[in-house]
Structure 1
């Protein structure tokens, strides 16, 4: 019964993520992980209930799946903490162990159904080498990705709120606990642990952190913003070597990009991503923004979003939309962030401003 609860919860959480508005890359990573979790549990349940023995070509389909859990956790944490820009070149090497394990299993997959049943009935007799390779890759990969994830989380303590940090820590520690079960227990205990982990993810993600319905919000306090402004001061760029004409040219390209592409509407836009679009170093772009508009990156982007929101809200065909829906369309990812920056730019709250206009 616990296995079935785990399977149901995995696909239920996947469905919530699939229906979520304004999906981010992190949401897609988590949804893929929930599908992998669900499929892994389904395959185990088929083996546990001996259903696979009636359809022997299902045997062994889950050999390489354990290698995906650590990778998907790592990319989920990486996407939320925005440590680096993700590209296909960056992502693909992480799946080499998964592909390798599938390749090594080809001799088993080539067996007849009767032969597969015999191998499973004899606890992998004749394929001991594969079992040793499999468990070694699972433990090494699982440990490495959990450690890397925890390192990213530790480095991001100022950029995410407390509950969001705890959420990522729970995921990482929960997966680490599963790898401990892999070392010392059989599949029955391991997958009972997986089912409990999925249930915990559902409880925490739905009730305490807006993972499956809301948006992660950066935790930039006044102290953090002051620190960012200070770091963007001319002293920081004294040795950058960016000349006045180059600065003017870069700012002109930046304004053109914002005008033509409106990239500020991407609610996950980072300084590094914007710099990559302009083919410049992030420090140079930060310098130009600070010098030309007197703002740090986050203030600059959110000021543009406020301007876009005001223009959008003034359109007659948008009057039936809520202010928050329009704010999300302009790139804001939470009500509190929207209200904070709108008031900073306009000197009053959105409801007060538009209440006066519409009255």
Structure 2
């Protein structure tokens, strides 16, 4: 089982480096990376526990265990950053460190008063000491409070029909996060509860929890790879259904929208230069082309088109593909050739995005037009 923790840790490090090496990272990417870092710390504690190295690395183990409280906070912030394109950290968000401070204060106080000594008891997670048990449930309740708050946000997004229709893959991703985290938390709590009531497991309950968490993390990262293409920028809760024929048909009339002028400038440049055909058209690259700040472009598209940057660019690509089909270009060229010509980098991403916009595959679309 030791190899499981090592493999999981290696995967986490790989994904942290991959995400942060992107040219354009949104706040949600940074939050997700820090969350992965906390998960990596948890994997370190699992490994130390499996190797019985608790005594040798006592303080590392205790610090990493205390950081578990922040998983709920990171989950909440990550969901918030995905569903709210205007979200940014401010001083008020430092208040969310209070639960962590209370938890650390409790552990420090009980230890200084000699009420509990994790080192002598072989680790607080294994201890039957009442103060250690309170510590475990305190940690659980703090995490649960943030997870439930984040899950409520996800449920609100799922009820938004315009959001679910315009961003089916985004909804699947955040739903996967919410359901997965909630199930994992429930399983861990159930194991701890059964253990506290004298139920014996085939292996040590702490090791069982560690294994379950590690398997969940590997599955979680795998699911992320399936949906990562849509996370160049956050999703907007106000999204409307994608227009099939013209990207500008999505514009929402808003007399108080200060970004209309910038949005028109962006549209005119994209249409005249056909830059959407560039498969590497990042927000930073477009910003340099039209000399408009990245955040202004992102806000203009979100406010005027009710779409994320990636969805907006992909709408041009899909519309261009439909234009090529109408011109019978598929009769002497492969679909993969046309997909690359439209600006997609792979057949799988092209099929995925096309189905997101039209609910059918490109092949099915062509057959329907035959």
Give TM-score, length-normalised by structure 2.
0.61
Match of 1:340 in 2: 316
Compared with structure 1, are the counterparts of its residues 58 and 225 closer, same or farther at alpha carbon in structure 2 (3 Å cutoff)? same
Runs (5+) with no aligned partner, structure 2: 192-204, 288-296, 298-308, 325-340, 343-370
Runs (5+) with no aligned partner, structure 1: 233-282, 290-296, 315-321, 353-359
Identify the match of residue 9 of structure 2 among 7, 10, 20.
7
Compared with structure 1, are the counterparts of its residues 326 and 9 closer, same or farther at alpha carbon in structure 2 (3 Å cutoff)? closer
Match of 1:221 in 2: 242
Match of 2:178 in 1: 172
Identify the match of residue 189 of structure 1 among 208, 233, 248.
208
Deviation string 1:105-151 (CA, Å, 9 cap, x unpaired) is: 22356599x95421336715262443343333333343333333433
Match of 1:330 in 2: 286
Identify the match of residue 264 of structure 2 among 290, 298, 303.
303
8 Å contact 1:78–1:152 — kept in the other structure? no
Secondary structure of 1:60 counterpart:
helix
Secondary structure of 2:63 counterpart:
coil
Q: Does 1:203 align with 2:222?
A: yes
In 1, the alpha carbon distance for the partners of 2:207 and 2:264 equals 54
Match of 2:143 in 1: 138
In 2, the alpha carbon distance for the partners of 1:57 and 1:149 equals 37
Q: 1:224-263 alignment to 2 at 5 Å?
A: 232=253
Give TM-score, length-normalised by structure 1.
0.63
Q: 1:1-359 alignment to 2 at 5 Å?
A: 1-82=3-84, 84-107=86-109, 115-120=117-122, 123=127, 125=129, 127=131, 128-155=133-160, 157-158=163-164, 161-185=167-191, 186-206=205-225, 208-211=226-229, 220-222=241-243, 232=253, 285-286=256-257, 297=260, 301-307=262-268, 323-325=278-280, 328=283, 329-331=285-287, 333-334=309-310, 337=313, 340=316
Q: 1:34: Cα distance to partner?
A: 0.8
Compared with structure 1, are the counterparts of its residues 62 and 151 closer, same or farther at alpha carbon in structure 2 (3 Å cutoff)? farther
In 2, the alpha carbon distance for the partners of 1:76 and 1:38 equals 17
